[in-house]
């Protein structure tokens, strides 16, 4: 599965982790121009890989904190949470019933808007 960096999450984390330090302070620590740091914080600039690595290191940001949140299929998530064969069977029955209901609704022309 391919994951992407969220420009919005990166901007939020950089602003938060910078704290009371100025963009100039971060410039001195990372070598990244303060105007570029401002553009990153506003979500208008995607840093290069070396810049990103320096920012994450200096600001102690975990890479996973800036990744896009991809919604996982709820049924797959629920199946993964099944702890016993009985729970797994129950989830399978529920999914089967929901799929049957959806098929029935399509045949009848029912829509959910």
Q: Which residue has the tokens 């896009």?
A: 68
The confidence score (pLDDT) of residue 77 equals 58
The confidence score (pLDDT) of residue 75 equals 56
Question: Is 10 in contact with 3 (CB distance < 8 Å)?
Answer: no
Domain boundaries, the chain: 7-66, 74-108
- Whole-prediction pTM: 0.59
Q: How many angstroms separate the CA atoms of 80 and 112, rounded?
A: 28
Residues of the chain with pLDDT > 90: what percent?
47
The dotted CATH code for 7-66 is 1.10.260.40
Q: How many angstroms separate the CA atoms of 17 and 60, rounded?
A: 8
Instruction: Determine the angle formed by the axes of helices 49-58 and 23-30, rounding to 10 degrees.
Output: 110
* Residue ranges in the chain modelled with pLDDT below 50: 71-72
């Amino acid at each position: 599965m391919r994951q992407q960096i969220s420009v919005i999450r990166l901007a939020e984390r950089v602003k938060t982790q910078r704290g009371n330090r100025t963009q100039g302070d971060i410039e001195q620590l990372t070598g990244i121009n303060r105007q570029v740091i401002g553009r990153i914080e506003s979500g208008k600039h995607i840093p290069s890989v070396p810049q990103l690595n320096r920012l994450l290191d200096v600001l102690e940001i975990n890479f996973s904190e800036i990744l896009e949140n991809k919604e996982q299929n709820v049924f797959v998530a629920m199946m993964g949470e099944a702890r016993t064969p009985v729970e797994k069977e129950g989830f399978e029955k529920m999914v089967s019933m929901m799929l049957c209901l959806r098929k029935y609704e399509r045949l009848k022309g029912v829509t959910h808007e």
